[in-house]
Amino acid sequence: MASLRNPSHLSRSLRRSIAAQSPSVSLRGSCYRFLVAQSPGSLPTRRHRWNCPSARRAFASTVSAATQTTNLRSSSSMALDKVLNSNFLKSIRDFWYEHLPGDDDLVVPGQVAHKRWYAGGAEFDKACLTQFEPALEAINASGVDGAELLRLVQPTEPCDWLSLILLLDQIPRNCYRGPASRVVFTVFDPLALAVAKAAVAAGVPHTAPEIRWQFAFRTWFYLPFEHTEDAAMHDECRRQYEGLARDVETLLAEKEEPKNADAYKRRAWQVVQGNEEAARALVRAQLDFAERHEAIIKQFGRYPHRNEPLGRETTAKEKEFLESGGDTFQSK
């Protein structure tokens, strides 16, 4: 695979290990299913068994030597591994996906899914604050960078990587709006990008079947690349979405169910074949969103709508852009 899909800094044997040991699980296991019977307002409580040697080995190979020479910045940072434990990471996923109307939405999420995520309003913001603000405040207070956070948390399962990205990249956008959004751009976005880069380099979104073939999981791995003001990361974002698009087209091109594939790919084939228009629309929307972000970075080198919370002076061209209805991506 090209680019980060076959990271050159990993050893050849490690890359073989990642490819060979991606988890093979049933549809009822791993992070496939969060939608369980529950009373209104409660979170899912079903426990899931995991088997993710690929993510564990890929990450451990880059951490062990570094931890011998790295001093954590404060005692508060050392407590993060207690806060961000596996149960808490699972609670993030339960919360984020509890509204999905059916399992097919994990492959091709529909309007109901996206409405809550992108237009959930004050109610969704309040839910994010209630459940996750203490953890976000602990991360902020610790002063850790991305590498330190990963060494503390040691994500070993594909969906634990997903949980970290949701916690760092998405949930802060619901917790901190207006002037308070400064912390999103200066603290949480750099952490989310570090986690996303490490996850992609480890092969999580494109070799772990439960991520690769469930696009309601996979797409979140690429949003931190959109949110940075680093133009090079936008190039990488586009390449990753193009890889997702190729996977969708591969599923559509296969006229018979891939019997020898893992359970996740077979399920994805069934859903995509039955929802071709929706699957292609999902890909188009993701690519369009990435292109809109990238266009602003190419034009201004930054996001003008962030100037106010970041204390930056808005140029005349940026002011014209904003006043004429330029994209702010619902930032408020």
pLDDT in tens, 98-146: 999 888 999 999 888 899 999 999 999 999 999 999 999 999 999 999 9
Residue whose pair of structure tokens reads 């850790």 in the numeric block: 144
Closest CA to 318 of 299, 331, 332: 299
Q: Does pLDDT of 45 surpass 70?
A: no
Closest CA to 331 of 130, 164, 127, 185: 185
What is the widest separation between alpha-carbon atoms in the chain?
Answer: 59
Amino acid letter at 6?
A: N
Residue 46 token pair? 């079903």
pLDDT for the residue numbered 112: 86
Q: Does pLDDT of 20 surpass 90?
A: no
- CA-CA distance, 306 to 312, in Å (whole number)? 8
DSSP type of residue 302: S
Residue 258 token pair? 């891939």
Residue whose pair of structure tokens reads 């050392």 in the numeric block: 78
68 versus 96: which is more confidently predicted?
A: 96
pLDDT for the residue numbered 304: 97
- CA-CA distance, 173 to 303, in Å (whole number)? 15
Q: Does pLDDT of 37 surpass 90?
A: no
Q: What is the CA radius of gyration of the chain?
A: 20
| Percent of the chain residues topping a pLDDT of 70 | 76
Amino acid letter at 190?
A: P
Residue 311 token pair? 């204390």
Q: What is the DSSP string of 5-26?
A: GS-TTS-HHHHHHHHHS-----
pLDDT for the residue numbered 332: 54
Query: Residue 105: enclosing H or E segment and its boundaries?
Result: helix 104-107
189 versus 79: which is more confidently predicted?
A: 189
Provide the pLDDT confidence category of residue 73 given band limits of 50, 70 and 90. Answer: very low
For 199-243, the pLDDT digits (tens) are 999 999 999 999 999 999 999 999 999 999 999 999 999 999 999
Provide the pLDDT confidence category of residue 77 given band limits of 50, 70 and 90. Answer: low
pLDDT for the residue numbered 111: 87
- Say if CB 79 and CB 66 are below 8 A apart: no
Which sign does the torsion angle of CA 40, 41, 44, 45 carry? negative
The mean pLDDT of the chain is: 81
| Percent of the chain residues topping a pLDDT of 90 | 71
For 244-295, the pLDDT digits (tens) are 999 999 999 999 999 899 999 999 999 999 999 999 999 999 999 999 999 9
Provide the pLDDT confidence category of residue 297 given band limits of 50, 70 and 90. Answer: very high
Amino acid letter at 4?
A: L
- CA-CA distance, 219 to 94, in Å (whole number)? 17
